[in-house]
Amino acid sequence: MPNSKPNAIPGSHREPMAGARYVSPVPDKEKVSVTLVLRRQGGQSLIADKSAVLGRRQSRQEFASTHGADAGDMEAIEAFAHEYGLAVVRRHDPSRRIVLTGPVEAMQKAFNVQLGVYEIPETGIRYRGRTGSVSVPPEISAAVIAVLGLDNRPVAKPHVRRKKKQSPAPGFTPVQLAKLYDFPPHLDGSGQTIGIIELGGGYTTTDLTTYFTDLGLKPPSVKAVSVDGGTNQPGDSADAEVMLDIEVAGAVAPSAHIAVYFAPNTDQGFVDAISEAVHDSRNNPSVISISWGASEDSWTEQARNAMEAAFEDAATVGVTVTVAAGDNGATDCASDGKLHVDFPAASEYVLSCGGTKVEASSGKITSEVVWNELTHNEGATGGGVSKFFSLPSYQKNVGVPLQPETRFWGRGVPDVSGDADPNTGYQIRVDGKTELIGGTSAVAPLWAGLFALMNQQLGKPLGFANPSLYKIGSPAFRDILHGTDGHYRATRGWDACTGLGSPDGAKLLQALQSLPAH
């Protein structure tokens, strides 16, 4: 195998990060871990029969036997690893992942790459990187969708916005917002597990106990799950993201169990964390909340493909995934001045969550518009049309426009929305202090909590809910009619600022109960 001419993995090409300079080679003996994501049984990267995704959900055991890895593919990868002196440290057939470790010199030979240390002087970020494509021997090239981990640059940002001046606006507690959005008050998420993906930061039990006690709630059960060596490490700016996610989801569904999957902020860590959560039969999450992402253009195609396959897994086994749509308007903070949407919010198989600005009086919403504070440098909801993901069937009749720069009729972002403006945001406790926090990072766990409540009432997980939500349409949503994300404007029905709108929890639950069973 080592003497055969390697084949490049499609979509694996990498360039250095913007502003990065090459510093030095990576020492030959340094240990590296990589995750190989493989095709499904039958040679498919995604499930060929979409009715398998949209129809009856499968148990995790059923899924593994029908859509897991091909045993022959796994054995071929193991033989490849041994031939190049790499160790197999984890093989997970249901999610089609195999993790290999070995020294840099062996990794470079196995995948036909040169690894170097790169640095961005302005930020001090250092990472192990590569340029060009990853290649593998032809005997296994057809089986491999992605090789992740050779390059360990940071890939995502938390979509959280901390209010610059913490007074005088009081904002809302998550409990108050749940009441404003008419979440069913008799439900508490009992019997449900909400999975939360985190790529940095951490939480303290002391802060959580104080926060929930002050709200008059019993602190939820929270468990940290380590992925790829990621751990609960409070003490940096990402703590605001972690605490926001846990406190919003926990306040909305206080009796739900919360499993927080900590992973490194790399494409390998992100994909592995999602896959671990989706296929976690021990904690068994029925909902997963993700508040991290980056412009879809910044990802390699192989990483997008690997993550899309993981989200399709989630849809097929009945796990709902809620994802923040981004906090930088229609450009998604890209420096080229063009329109961009965030990923993984642009995935077909997730519920993409945009942001609004809410004002209320006497327990009622008096105004709700598109969140846009760009003129004050306090963010705006992400939204737009994907350049890579095709328009899904559930969006074909809601008026998603062509992407104006490419004329591609792509996936519209977001699907739904909720309060995200830091000026009308969420009262959250972080590192011993209470402050006002916003961002679409808050909307993903808000919706995750709502799904936990609805799953409790329905007695089964809603799973991939997008087709049902679009079928129900405006009667179960607060339609947002005013505002812009910097390019797109709010309009009646679906729009690329707030999607279908913000939730009317009671009406949405009633409408879902009225839909015929699959």
- Take residue 168 and report the two structure tokens written for it: 């005088």
Please tell me the distance from the alpha carbon of residue 403 to that of residue 411, in angstroms, as a whole number.
Answer: 9
Per DSSP bridges, beta strands 433-438 and 384-390 are unpaired
Tell me how far apart the alpha carbons of residues 177 and 183 are, in angstroms, rounded to a whole number: 9
Rounded Cα–Cα distance for residues 231 and 227 (Å): 8
Asked whether the beta carbons of 9 and 44 are under 8 A apart, the reply is: no
Indicate if 83 belongs to the active site.
no
Backbone angles phi, psi at 136, to 5 degrees: -135, 160
Instruction: Return d(Cα 201, Cα 265) in angstroms, integer.
Output: 11
Out of 93, 151, 188, 241, pick the active-site residue: 241
Mapping DSSP to helix (H, G, I), strand (E, B) and coil, where does residue 63 land?
Answer: helix
Contact yes or no for 329/378 (Cβ under 8 A): no
Query: Strand 257-262 relative to strand 222-226: parallel, antiparallel, unpaired?
Result: parallel
Distance CA 457, CA 401 (A): 36
Catalytic residue among 135, 255, 289, 441: 441
Of 93, 245, 247, 327, the catalytic one is 245
- DSSP per position, 471-488: HH-GGGEE---S-BSSSS
**168: Cβ–Cβ under 8 A, 6 or more apart, which residues?**
none
Please state the separation of Cα 89 from the chain's center in Å: 26
Question: Active site includes 245?
Answer: yes
Residues 498, 499, 500, 505, CA torsion sign: negative
Q: How many CA atoms lie within 13 A of 25 on its CB side?
A: 9
The angle subtended at Cα 241 by Cα 450 and Cα 382, nearest 5°, is 70
Q: Measured in Å, how far apart are the chain's first and last C-alpha atoms?
A: 48
Rounded to the nearest 10°, the torsion over CA 175, 204, 428, 245 is: -70
**Peptide bond preceding 138 in cis form (omega within 30 of 0):** no
The burial class, CB within 10 Å (0-12 / 13-18 / 19+), for 48 is: exposed
Q: What is the largest CA-CA distance in the chain?
A: 75
**What is 160-199 written as a DSSP string?**
-EE-SS--S---B-HHHHHHHTT--TT---TT-EEEEEES
441 is catalytic: yes
Residues labelled catalytic = 241, 245, 441
